Amino acid sequence: MSRQRPGASAAVPARSARATARRGHTGGVDVTWWGHSTVVIADAGTRLVTDPVFGPRIAHLRRRAGARPAAQAARVDAAVVSHLHADHLDIPSLKLLPPTVPIILPRGGAALLARRHPALAERCVEMVPGDRVRVTSRDDMTGLDVLAVPAEHDGSRGPWSRHRGPALGFVVTGSRTVWFAGDTALHDAMADLAPLGIDIALVPVGGWGPSLGPGHLDPAGAIEAVRRTLGPRPVRPPALSPPALSPPTVSAPKVSAPAVSVQPVSPRTLSARPAVAIPIHYGTFWPIGFDRVRPDRFHEPGREFARLAATATDLPAEVRVLTHGESLNIAESRERGNKRLLQQPLPPSFS
């Protein structure tokens, strides 16, 4: 098990699975929604999956829409898990990942896996808000930077479990910057992400049952989350060179998972292109026997999010509603001469 101190920067090399993003990669970022919070992000030759849930059922929930994710959804270079709830940390799905893929998850997640699933626990990279790791594939060393950010949500495995950890979102940076919110309610620290210049927001708009409990966003709340997190779009200045950084010193226990070494985080790219917001965490799982109970809460959150966005003149993003298994390619900006490269510091609320 390997965990870096908050604010640390480390490299997490991952062995590339077959059919990694190099195959059929069109440039820019490919985002594929497989239902609920499971999204595959392919960028810079590296593939990462969020909250992988590949099966037809989770406890009392069954998959009511969309086919089970294709096998290619598990062929990734890393996985991130936002919190310990069973519909986000799904152990059978983690077992379907390639055997050397690191699992980036909240602090406390490895202890949950250690007793019955030690092979998974050895691959865990535990994080708290402010921790940063770099994921690379074997055949493309450009890789992705993964920053853990706060989320407002219950971090326990469940009321019957002693296991808990901080609920997280993640900011994933390659050629573009993607915010995966995880499960969250509105909170003040969202505004601290605006300086990162997020290009793609994967924002939850619903849940898996007839009602939403605390720690969730409905479509109206998701609109406000996008406002806070994206902020005003950056104005394109003259090109700048990134400042030189000295890597911090990190002490970490020896692990049998992929080696962790310290590197400065690579510069990120900003452009003046509009951001894209994609609704997730709805319309997939539903309690068994509840098919006719509040079906609007199952089918409508994504469309309602789009309707609200269409009337919000101040929303700093375009909304794209994906169907299960549908991909969106955010093409790499062609205005290379007008881009600026900046080394973004950690936002003050979790540095």
Q: Higher model confidence: residue 256 or residue 44?
A: 44
What's the mean pLDDT in 310-320?
91
**What confidence score (pLDDT) does residue 141 get?**
65
Q: Is the confidence at residue 275, as pLDDT, over 80?
A: yes
Q: Is the confidence at residue 306, as pLDDT, over 70?
A: yes
**What confidence score (pLDDT) does residue 348 get?**
53
**What confidence score (pLDDT) does residue 314 get?**
85
| CATH at residue 218 | 3.60.15.10
**In Å, how far are 9, 56, 196, 207, 252 from 242, measured between CA atoms?**
17, 46, 14, 41, 28
Whole-angstrom Cα distance, residue 34 to residue 19?
Answer: 17
Q: Is the confidence at residue 278, as pLDDT, over 90?
A: yes
Q: List the single range of 190-199, 208-217, 335-344 with lowest mean pLDDT.
A: 335-344
What's the mean pLDDT in 149-171?
79
- What long-range pairs does 175-179 form, CB within 8 A, spacing at least 24? 175/28, 175/29, 175/43, 175/44, 175/269, 175/332, 176/28, 176/29, 176/43, 176/200, 176/269, 176/330, 176/332, 177/268, 178/29, 178/31, 178/41, 178/43, 178/202, 179/149, 179/203, 179/229
pLDDT tens per residue across span 164-197 = 688 999 999 999 999 999 999 999 999 999 999 9
What's the mean pLDDT in 83-99?
90
What's the mean pLDDT in 95-117?
92
Q: What is the mean pLDDT of the chain?
A: 77
**What confidence score (pLDDT) does residue 159 get?**
62
Q: Higher model confidence: residue 285 or residue 250?
A: 285
What's the mean pLDDT in 36-40?
93
**What confidence score (pLDDT) does residue 279 get?**
96
pTM of the shown model: 0.77
Question: How many domains are there within the chain?
Answer: 1
Q: How confident is the model at residue 248 (pLDDT cuts 50, 70, 90)?
A: very low
What's the mean pLDDT in 47-75?
89
Where in the sequence is the domain holding 308, given as residue range(s)?
A: 2-350
**What confidence score (pLDDT) does residue 65 get?**
86
Q: Is the confidence at residue 342, as pLDDT, over 50?
A: no
Q: Is the confidence at residue 43, as pLDDT, over 90?
A: yes
Q: Higher model confidence: residue 136 or residue 348?
A: 136
Q: List the single range of 16-30, 108-122, 144-158 with lowest mean pLDDT.
A: 16-30
pLDDT tens per residue across span 215-233 = 779 999 999 999 999 986 5
Q: How confident is the model at residue 153 (pLDDT cuts 50, 70, 90)?
A: confident
